[in-house]
A and B are shown apart, each in its own frame.
Chain A
Amino acid sequence: MSAEAADVIVVGGGFMGAASAFFLRKRGRSVILLERGQVGQQASGVNFGNVRRQGRFLPQLPLANRSRAIWGDLARLIGEDAEFLPTGHIRVCYDRDQLAVLEDYAADAKDWGLELELLGRNALRDRFPFLGPDAVAGSFSPLDGHANPRLAAPAFARAAAREGAQVVEGTAVEGIEKQGTDFEVTSVQGRRYRAPVVLVTAGAWGGKLSERFGEPVPLKVKGPQMAVTEAVPYALEPVVGVCSAEDEERVYLRQVKRGNVVFGGGLRGPASAENLRAYALPERLLAQFRQIERLVPAVAALKVIRTWSGIEGYLVDDIPIMGASRRVSGLYYAFGFCGHGFQLGPGVGDVMAELIDRGKTTTPIEPFSIERFATPDGSPQDAATATIPQETLAP
């Protein structure tokens, strides 16, 4: 059986892969998108749905801004809006130390193209009367918002397919190697695919692929702890998050238009990339209850109807891998988005398509280069002991 050929093979049909396939088609490149299960089924489909820029690693803001512009244009671009709502995002804090963090961030973010509005206790109460008394100040990002993660990646994949991309679900990659100028990718079913360019958008599984090309990365797999309540009349407009030094305090919530309140955050749970399993832990949910009640007391009157988790890849420095391979020409990476990739999805697709098409990008992505984890001999990186190469700000 001869190999199917294209300009680019995208490995991994999450949000990054689906969006990349779409934008590559827009640039006239032929694309084969390979997905082990169903498009957007893993972390892309089960995350919180935050379309949030504030609080991100500052050098990531240009990418986030580019992505935000695409979010606002989804209906025209792909024919559906994935329930994106630019409701604003309010990030509150519980003490003065964190207020200083919010203030510094707002001052710095301005230089990166993100305008934030700082609200003191009274202004915060006036604008968002549903917040609990512990919230002493907040930073409001008026153009951020939220969307439905179950819909976004599949919508991009369908749009890519309409544009002519070959979207192949139920096809796990077994072999991948470069032969001459082309890569040959073999599926577990024995089908073969050939292209001069491979883009790895394999999320929590991306590290296993980069390692095969001598570029191991210190990637850990974790599961976010998510829950949703029964539906009640729509009353909480913005997405609400907490700025805190304590993991347990960093919860977030949003209400969807039809009334359910989605929440998550706090400590993450165990997940296994090998077994395709992630766990929503009962104790974590109970701990979240205390924090959610503190953040928006009215939510404590509701009932939770469902909990879930997902398999997310985290690099030790909490920022993703993005860009060209430093060892193999024609190989590109965009994976390991450390639990904050949903907002970036459309932008990552656009930027990776630009990079593959033009060899360079108008949006800086150097901080995310895999080079930061390069070892002299390509020896494996241990996520537990790897040194963090640069000062980063947890989102």
Chain B
Amino acid sequence: MADAKIVIVGAGPAGVRAAEAVVTAGLTPWLIDEGRRDGGQIFRRQPEGFRRSYAELYGGEAERAAALHRAFESLADRIDYRPETLAWNLRDGVLHTAKCGLSDALPFDALIIASGAADRLMPLPGWTLPGVYSLGGAQIALKAQAAAIGRKVAFLGTGPLLYLVASQYLAAGAGVSAVLDSSPRRLGLRALPELLARPRLMARGLAMIAGLRRAGVEIRTGVTPRRIDGDEEGVSGLTVALANGRKRTIDCDAVAMGYHLRPEMQLADLARCSFRFDAASRQWLPEVDDNGRSSVEGIYLAGDGSEVLGAEAAEIGGRLAALTALHDLGEAVPPGELSRLRRKQARMRRFARGLAKAYPWPHTSAAGLADETILCRCEAVTVGELRRSVGDLGAGELNRAKAFSRVGMGRCQGRYCGHAAGEVMAAASGLPLEQVGRLRGQAPVKPLPIVKAVEPA
């Protein structure tokens, strides 16, 4: 199919490498991205006029970032690149996009969804105060605008991003009050065999933690978050229970929190891809085969948008998904390439399993959340209201609880509260999480301005 149309959503590591593979095959893909420039979240470029070096911006990942940016630049006149464009719906082989008040409809033969990941959040009292950010948000403030979210920032959560962002703040000269990790340290040791699948990355992680310690940053593991204190002026403190049960209050003026990442799966959902429950990470993920094929013909999934494996794996996954799509469209692909990529990817997956073991989602804390705690920020639904929709109103499944309580009905459509809501509901009902289900995706993927349709050219 010489004139086959391939659409790629997302210009991060997976999307750019997918575009590169498609261009190499002689086709001109569309590359749709919400960002103002390429790079995705991890290799986000700084705005024009900012002059920080790659080393300052991306630390140990500077070379990878530079290589990805160069790869994108070399594609510039061979792709149809549409930045600041939201892919808001998908139906019958047509992707619907919106940009600056105009909507467009792009028919495709193959769609590669490289939609990336966002923070996985667990509420706690005070998490909606001004000055509380997600880890990703805190990182973007630094990367994009060279701004810190506070002068004394407490980092709360778990996962590699917790230590990475704290280190980046420290390196940038911002005040780091403490790093509070909900995962007990012993889990890291238990995950060692898997983590050794990528020894250099593991070493870099350990060096990062050591660097924080050397700088005198208080690091606590195995903590249980209790509450964030403050008022409409901002944050004044963060209280946790330490592993030994003692209470510890950190003096801070901002909190960056997050419990690892979760894939942005709305497009895969709208494409009616099948999902499976991943017991290890306690979340629903789209089904994807080793080559990047979803359960729906013509829809391919790559990068952290289908399974959080990190940037390097996303580059591999993007290329893999693109080559698979090309193969399925009857194009020749380099012999042996697919199996080589699959082998690399298997190693990445092994490492990610280790991370999931070392830094588990703290699901048990959902049961202990006080009724007054805000669960759904957009609609200001409390934990107690969700429990009431289970107990008094008899909701036996998450979408039913949503219908009764409005949890997940606001601007984010449950992207940020959905995982916590599932856990609260599972704990309140006694049902296993997989039986509670997941919030069904409904268009638009993100809030859609009342747009005008573009007349077909």
The interface of chain A, by Cβ under 8 A from chain B, is: 38, 41, 45, 150-151, 154, 158, 230-231, 258, 279-283, 285-287, 289-290, 292-293, 299-308
Contact = CB atoms under 8 A, between A and B. Distances in A.
B398 to A, nearest CB: 12
B436 to A, nearest CB: 14
A282 B411 contact: no
Interface stretch (B43-51, B117-125, B445-453): B445-453
A300 to B, nearest CB: 4
A206 B251 CA distance: 64
Interface string B169-193: 0000000000000000000000000
A287 B105 CA distance: 14
B333 to A, nearest CB: 33
B144 interface: no
A282 B393 contact: no
Q: Rank and list the top 3 A-B pairs by shortest CB-CB distance, nearest first.
A: A303-B447, A150-B403, A286-B453
B411 A305 contact: yes
A289 B452 contact: yes
B64 interface: no
A307 B443 contact: yes
Bin chain B's interface residue count.
20 to 34
A303 B451 CA distance: 9
A11 B443 CA distance: 32
5 contacts: A282-B91, A285-B443, A300-B450, A307-B442, A307-B443
B103 interface: yes
Most buried by B among A258, A279, A303, A308: A303
A286 B411 CA distance: 19
Given A305-B409, A305-B444, 14 more contacts: A38-B397, A258-B379, A280-B443, A281-B91, A286-B451, A292-B450, A302-B449, A303-B447, A305-B410, A305-B413, A306-B409, A306-B443, A307-B442, A307-B443
Interface centre among A150, A258, A279 (most CB of B within 10 A): A150
Contacts of B89: 282
Interface string B61-90: 000000000000000000000000000010
A297 B283 CA distance: 41
A158 B444 contact: no
B400 interface: yes
B393 A303 contact: no
B254 to A, nearest CB: 26
A154 B393 contact: yes
A290 B396 CA distance: 39
B404 interface: yes
B391 interface: no
Given A230-B411, A282-B89, A304 B442 contact: no
B60 interface: no
Contacts of B404: 150-151, 154
A304 B403 contact: no
A335 B349 CA distance: 53
B96 interface: yes
A45 B409 CA distance: 15
B394 interface: yes
Contact of B447 (A38, A41, A282, A305): A305
Contacts of A41: 400
A158 B393 contact: yes
